[in-house]
A = this chain, B = another copy of it.
Amino acid sequence: MPDLLNEILKLRTRERVEMLSRNGQIFHVIMAQQFLREFIDEICLLADMIREINSSRHGADFLQRLLPHRRAMIYFTQPSTRTFLSFACACQILGMRYNEVRDPKTSSEVKGESEEDAVRVFSQYFDVIIMRHPMEGFSEKTAHMINRMHRTIPVINGGSGRDQHPTQALLDIYTLYQSFSGGSLVRRAAGIQIDPFPGKVIGMVGDLQRGRTVRSLSYLLCRYPGVTIHFISPPELGIGEDILEYLREHEVEYHISQELDPLLPELDAVYMTRIQDEHDAMAGQSSRIDYSRFYLTPDKLERAKPTMAILHPLPRRQEIHVDCDADPRAKYWQQVQNGMWMRAALLAYVFNTEERIRSYYLENYTY
């Protein structure tokens, strides 16, 4: 159905967002543009409540009774371990059952039919499809295809080609939120509105040209007025002009830089990314650039703020020295775990259980 995809892409973003909604709330989770400030705040808070509730046996049992009657198809035709496991664990936390299709090439039955029909079959067995696909827009097309079926179920985009990875963007901003709030968003749940973002300075470091996570996170940060962003990279790997234009439109202060060291003392958070040097050979860049300027080491950390949060979407190579792992400012392992809480929050949201979670939390955790 190339026609359907072309049809969709001709629409304005506003119309596309609307077609992914139901009763005024997000139904299919496909792209970062669906996330307004209110939604992001709510889903981060929900993730944080699930994290805390799950830490007691009583709470874990409560969570597992939420969705045992729901089954997820995790359809990941692009290799992934971290994101796959994160969704699988999220299902398990909420008591959901899941099945997986990882490599449709090994299945003659899937081969025998169109991928569209395979997805239609899934829609008969499962209550949600979580999808990672190499083709841009495939999850959005799937959402529309399923909208036309008698049995309509939500589709969650777990990464589609190079364009979108919306759940990663949400877990990144949740980790920033958590770090800036001193580890917990609890007080917000008690009704105290605290916005920790204004005045914060965030550095994005590394290969900003080819990393989709920095792009997505930048989009989301536009919802949080008062932040300042430093884009720090070799000039050859700078952030795209489209992102900069979007930031200007939303009046977000940003700076472009090629050195991490002098900026380090100013940063409240640093978002490290992998230099994708496997792509370098063609451009011959490797021999010209000193990448070590964009690496974090324990001695460099001595000059950073004692509260600076270090994030990394993983996998890492040399960007962060292993000896930094023990530093309390290293948040990347927590960030990995946050992926699990955030995906659990999205599933809870999609199946309309957030009110029950909030009630349980308020009854058991406020003081």
Contacts and interface: CB of A to CB of B under 8 A. Distances in A.
B81 A109 contact: yes
A60 interface: yes
Interface in A312-359: 314-317, 322, 325-326, 333-334, 336-337, 340
A107 B79 contact: yes
B86 A125 contact: yes
The size class of the interface chain A forms with chain B is 35 or more
Contact of A337 (B89, B118, B125, B337): B125
A31 to B, nearest CB: 22
A289 interface: no
A109 B82 contact: yes
A97 interface: yes
Contacts of A106: 79, 103
A288 interface: no
Contact of A125 (B89, B112, B317, B325): B89
Tally of this chain's copies = 3
A255 interface: no
Contacts of A36: none
B124 A333 contact: yes
A38 B314 CA distance: 44
A99 B79 CA distance: 16
A113 B332 CA distance: 14
A10 interface: no
When A and B form their complex, which 5 residue pairs have the shortest distance between CB atoms, in order from nearest?
A113-B315, A60-B69, A124-B337, A79-B108, A92-B97
6 contacts: A71-B92, A81-B104, A112-B317, A116-B322, A124-B333, A124-B337
Given A82-B121, A89-B126, A112-B315, 6 more contacts: A61-B69, A81-B107, A109-B315, A125-B337, A149-B325, A149-B333
